[in-house]
A and B are shown apart, each in its own frame.
Chain A
Amino acid sequence: MGRNESKMVSLNKNYGTKDSLRQPQLDRIAHIQPYLKTVWENIRIVWEDTLGRIGMIILIFFILLAIFGPLIAPYGAYEKCRAPDGTLKRMQPPSWRHPLGTTYYGRDVLSQVILGTRQVVLVGFISALMVVVVGTNIGLITGYYKGNIDNFLMRLTDIVYGIPFLPFSMVLISIIGKGVSSIIIAIVVILWRSTARVIRSQVLSLRERPFVLALKVAGASDFRVIYKHIAPNILPMVFLYASFAIAWAVAAEASICFLGLGDPNTISWGQILFYAFLTKGVNSPYWWIIPPGICIMLLVMSAFFIGRAYEKVVNPQLRER
């Protein structure tokens, strides 16, 4: 582990030395600048990897689809499509009017898939962000303050590890009601644990470094040490876990919706599959179940690819292999 960390620190080598010379009024901008710079640097690193680039292209495609979906989709998500003579177009195979066919309820599958993107991407990103923010902060605090706080929060992590995710979210959503925010809450409440554990182990070794000791001797407050000096060093790890969190969150959202716990007024890929399974069981027509499944797979895979490409930053040894 020791070798990796020295690389990670050197990524931010311009950091932590000059800030005492800066004017106080510039301090606020100086806080954000290294973070922003790291973000751009990281995107560049992922782009240089073949699989990472593929992942990024897929991700950007789905983000665009989520934003402009309602402009592209030919029909509404729950619109009943009728033939000219007024009969419902049930389970029609793909045709020019309906490139991905229709469902048992006469809804256009292509439109449902396009319109479903928004909820998936939204839940994926918001919950990944929240998972990472919660997990990182808990990791930073537990790693930095040893003793009781650490013990307490790590026991809490152990308990959360003991809770099976899907059964828990089923109960939780029964309590707080169906909806997009309920899904996000269920995901965040459980999934912060792995980020917290990994960040903690990083901080545990960082806090023993000379630069941290020097800061303490110089009289820096704990808050300053944690967020200005330790946090930038664990950023690569945070980005890595953010990309994994997107993958987990998208898969989790699909699973929850598939179990019928999604908001019935919105549409998402998991929900399309839920309706298919509800009406036709496994023996649904291929045009109904293949497209949403492929979308879930591609989106999760893109996040994994980005994570794998990015892992080379966190673990430079991987590059030689």
Chain B
Amino acid sequence: MRKFLITRILYMILTLFIFVTLCFFLFRMLPGDPTALVISPILMPEAQAALKAQFGLDKPLHIQYYLYFKNLLKGDLGISFIYRTPVINIIKGKILNTLILMGLGMLLCLIIGILGGTVMAWLRGSKLDTGAIIFSLAFRSTPEFWSGMLILLVFGYKLEWFPVGRMHTPGFEAFGFWDQYFNVDFLKHLILPLTTLTLYYLASPLLVMRNSMLEVLHTDFVELAIAKGLHPLRVMYQHAARNALLPVVTLISLMVGYAVGGQVLLETIFSWPGMGKEMVDAVNSNDYPMAQGAFLFLGATVISMNLLADVLYCYLDPRIQYGEE
């Protein structure tokens, strides 16, 4: 197990390294003067030349690549054109907002998916089962930006139950971390985007859990548990569901991969001050350093979440021999 973990972490570092390299080349292929990447075009020519030297943009590509890495390791991602502050500071303020929204959404999906999928398999063929399949597939087919728009339109504008977008009421001042995320105002703003996110991603864990449970329900130990006269809930959750969990765990890394990308849409719709919205704004206003920083962090999130899912899988299923392929 330790060997597996070390191999996985090494692979993650390799993947991350290649991803960062890809990022370097991608952002240098953007149209226009490559120096536009770190230098705002509205600066004076002398100032531009000075900045060029500072970022090493007058040097050949391989040295630029070296400098890029060096700066990255120091946490220096350049200066945003729009905010006029270091990109890393903006990311620091926003990454948590994205992770909280996405993490809670994924957690809710998994919990509802696992609990619901178990019941659906138990009552297979019933109206509840068919209804839940169609309901979840319908939301899976609806683009999340559109369902988000409708949810916001109905519950925000028409019924006025919830605030329309943003993370806090304008004028809200947070005093420290706890104050920012643990209050009623935040919760009110969280509910609509969280609902949209959960409804969109619910279908995969729900249907995978249902299929996996159907397989487990055919086994002898479940028959035995039923024959012993145990309460159905106990058979479902204490005996069967635990053995049907693995396929859902493999799904986590996939879901997170899609969800990180999906944050771009969700945060745009709900004006959520996170990395996804930052990415859209940066690309739209040609703020290349900001876009690059946001892209790097979103990718790093996916890659590290994939590792986490692998480790979880390894922990839950020690039967599997890792290390050798």
Contact = CB atoms under 8 A, between A and B. Distances in A.
A158 B258 contact: no
Nearest to A277: B149
Given A258-B143, A282-B269, A300-B140, 20 more contacts: A151-B325, A155-B15, A158-B15, A159-B15, A162-B299, A162-B302, A163-B22, A164-B301, A167-B261, A172-B26, A174-B30, A177-B31, A254-B143, A273-B145, A277-B149, A282-B152, A282-B157, A290-B150, A296-B141, A321-B124
A293 B16 CA distance: 36
A301 B264 contact: no
Interface string B153-184: 10011000000110000000000000000000
A174 B301 CA distance: 22
B60 to A, nearest CB: 21
B291 A166 contact: no
Interface string B250-279: 000110011011101100110000001001
A166 B264 contact: yes
B264 A175 contact: no
Interface string A145-181: 0000001000100110111111110111011010000
Nearest to A317: B215
A64 to B, nearest CB: 20
Interface in A240-289: 247, 251, 254-255, 258-260, 270, 273, 277, 282-284, 286, 289
Contacts of B302: 161-164
Question: DSSP class of A's interface residues: helix, strand, loop or mixed?
Answer: helix
Nearest to B145: A258
A172 B26 CA distance: 8
28 contacts: A155-B15, A159-B15, A159-B18, A161-B253, A162-B302, A162-B303, A163-B302, A164-B298, A164-B301, A164-B302, A166-B262, A167-B261, A170-B264, A172-B26, A174-B30, A174-B283, A247-B141, A258-B145, A259-B268, A260-B284, A282-B153, A282-B157, A296-B143, A296-B146, A297-B143, A300-B142, A300-B143, A321-B125
Contacts of B140: 300, 304
Contacts of B152: 282
Interface residues of B, number: 59
B164 A282 contact: yes
Contact of A297 (B16, B124, B141): B141
A120 B150 CA distance: 22
A175 B138 contact: no
Contacts of A165: 257-258, 261
B66 interface: no
Size class of the contact patch on chain A: 35 or more
Contact of A163 (B264, B276, B299, B325): B299
The 10 A-B residue pairs whose C-beta atoms are closest, nearest first, are A300-B141, A301-B141, A164-B261, A293-B146, A162-B303, A166-B261, A165-B261, A166-B264, A282-B152, A164-B260
B221 interface: no
Nearest to A305: B137
Nearest to A293: B146
A14 B22 CA distance: 47
A113 to B, nearest CB: 13
Given A167-B279, A175-B26, A162 B298 contact: no
A270 B144 CA distance: 12
A260 B284 CA distance: 9
A7 B47 CA distance: 70
Contacts of B254: 194
A175 B19 CA distance: 17
Contact of A171 (B143, B150, B257, B295): B295
Interface in A207-254: 247, 251, 254
B19 A259 contact: no
